Amino acid sequence: MALVLEQINVEGLAHLSYLIGDDKAGVVAVLDPRRDVDIYIQRAREIGVRITHIIETHIHADFVSGSHELKARTNALIYGGKSDDYQFDLEQLNEGDELEIGNVTLRALHTPGHTPEHTSLLIFDAKQGKEPFAIFTGDFLFNLDVGRPDLIGGGTEKKLAAQIYHSLFDKLVPLGDRLEIYPSHGAGSSCGKSIGDRRQSTIGNERIFSPVFKQRTEAEFVEWVLGEMPEPPTHYSRLKKVNAKGAKVLGDVPILPPLSPQDFHQLMQDENTVVIDTRSILAFGGGHIPGAINIALRPEFPNWIGWMINPEKKILLVLESERGISLASQQLFRIGYDNIAGYLHDGMTSWQNAGLPLKHLGEWTVQELNQQKDHPDVTVLDVRGDDEFKNGNVPGAKHIYVPHLEEHLDQLDKNQTIATYCGSGYRASIAASLLQKHGFEKVVNVPGSWIAWSAANLPVEKNH
């Protein structure tokens, strides 16, 4: 028997899923699968095993679960924790229930707090003694962080935070420092407050280095874990409902149709359609389709699509490369955006050659921003999060977090030049493009933004 234990990382979502099983017995389970499931099918074929179990540690909020896609392809059963929130048939696990996958055994450990039904899985290997050697912690415990207890809302935050405390200190710590930890998210995910860079750890390592295990009373832990909690992305509550119901099986990532400039332009006229320009902020600034929103196709792309774009809208895409077509379709599929009307064939080259309208977006260096920031006709707009703004900002800047910009347009003067900045320029370009879309003509973005401002040692205002 050879143990199969493979981690699969989804860039952008920072989502970690797993294959676990026994290649001699020819069987594996898939834990917390993403929606585009070909990778699990392919790896199973390469290893020479079949997928017999699909396991959900909890009802996810940041991506569409691939459990139903995988079940349709493999006929494997879906397993999850005990909850009345599930609206589909699955095998619900009680604490202590075991799943035999060849000579590998997974034992359910109820670890509520991130969600009420959250279930971790202890991993036993017959060749490595009678005690578990590792645990799949789902979104309960990460490197240097724990799962946030505020995603369900409704006043349950303190109760769930207390449950995390007991899950940690009554259930996890007694298992011993040698136990390996395999979480379902890494750095960059909003499922925690500040997840560390390591995608694997041990209880002993976390007890030494993680602020989670600092000695606190239950009340102090609850206060700590809920303190300075960043706002959850808006799509989390929607995806929670999708996954509780069970996502519709589509069979594969949809193939996006290429559209001529004329057809693209015609579809744009529908008020229920939004144009997403996925090019870099500098390319977008040089020339773009009027009304387009710039959300660059970088690792942050799915998170900011989820924050900013209504999933009921039809989406038209502007892309820079053939690889971008495949990557954008995958990323949108993973977060449940299934209403993609198509992409602009040959990109902006075909648009400009068709003689269709172009808009430009001004760009200032941080030195230019510093020179202009005190001008009476200039509004400096900081679109970072609250904590970022409190830790230092461009002197005199107005603050509106970019996901809430459209709600507060009345706080801005269309006669002013509005200079947007964020951490790097990425969110600032989203904000600047939104302002243009809503009729603000004097808009400039600041590439490099706060990173460049700090590197240039320019003045900082504190807002503690």
What percentage of the chain carries pLDDT values higher than 70?
A: 100
User: Does 128 have pLDDT greater than 90?
Assistant: no
pTM above 0.85, yes or no: yes
Same domain, 33 and 73: yes
Same domain, 200 and 334: no
In a domain, 252, yes or no: no
In a domain, 190, yes or no: yes
Same domain, 7 and 149: yes
The tens digit of pLDDT for each residue in 317-327 reads: 999 988 899 99
CB 36 within 8 A of CB 113: no
User: Does 464 have pLDDT greater than 80?
Assistant: no
- Which residue has tokens 């229930």? 97
User: Does 24 have pLDDT greater than 90?
Assistant: yes
Average pLDDT over residues 222-226: 96
User: Does 98 have pLDDT greater than 60?
Assistant: yes
CB 2 within 8 A of CB 75: no
Same domain, 239 and 264: no
Question: In 10 A of CB 299, how many CB atoms?
Answer: 14
Final residue belonging to a domain, choices 219, 245, 271: 245
Both tokens of 406, joined, read 């459209």
- Alpha-helical segments (H) within 75-140: none
Same domain, 92 and 123: yes
In a domain, 81, yes or no: yes
Same domain, 23 and 121: yes
The tens digit of pLDDT for each residue in 268-289 reads: 999 999 999 999 999 999 999 9
CA 276, CA 302: separation in Å to the nearest integer? 12
User: Does 30 have pLDDT greater than 70?
Assistant: yes
Number of domains within the chain: 3
The pLDDT, as a whole number, for residue 413 is 96
Same domain, 150 and 20: yes
Final residue belonging to a domain, choices 183, 210, 245: 245
Same domain, 19 and 168: yes
Same domain, 366 and 433: yes
In a domain, 421, yes or no: yes
In a domain, 422, yes or no: yes
Same domain, 234 and 295: no
In a domain, 227, yes or no: yes
SS3 122: strand
Both tokens of 172, joined, read 């996890």
Q: Are strands 119-125 and 104-110 parallel, antiparallel or unpaired?
A: antiparallel
CB 288 within 8 A of CB 349: no
In a domain, 463, yes or no: no
In a domain, 349, yes or no: yes
CA 457, CA 327: separation in Å to the nearest integer? 37
CATH (domain of 303): 3.40.250.10
pLDDT band at residue 1 using 50, 70 and 90 as cut-offs? low
Same domain, 93 and 217: yes
Residue 380 domain boundaries: 362-456
What Rg do the C-alpha atoms of the chain give, in angstroms? 24
Same domain, 166 and 84: yes
Average pLDDT over residues 368-388: 96
What does the DSSP assignment read for 132-151? --EEEEETTEETTEEB-S-S
Final residue belonging to a domain, choices 178, 213, 245: 245
Cα dihedral angle (361, 362, 364, 368), rounded to 10 degrees?
-160
CA 349, CA 333: separation in Å to the nearest integer? 27
The tens digit of pLDDT for each residue in 398-410 reads: 999 999 999 999 9
The tens digit of pLDDT for each residue in 34-76 reads: 999 999 999 999 999 999 999 999 999 999 999 999 999 999 9
Backbone phi and psi for residue 185, each to the nearest 5 degrees, phi listed first: -145, 155
Average pLDDT over residues 309-317: 96
The pLDDT, as a whole number, for residue 414 is 96
Nearest CA to 193 out of 165, 239, 154, 228 is that of 228
For the chain, the average pLDDT equals 95
Task: Describe the chain by its helix, strand, coil percentages, rounded to 5.
Answer: 35, 25, 45
Nearest CA to 190 out of 132, 229, 242, 216 is that of 229
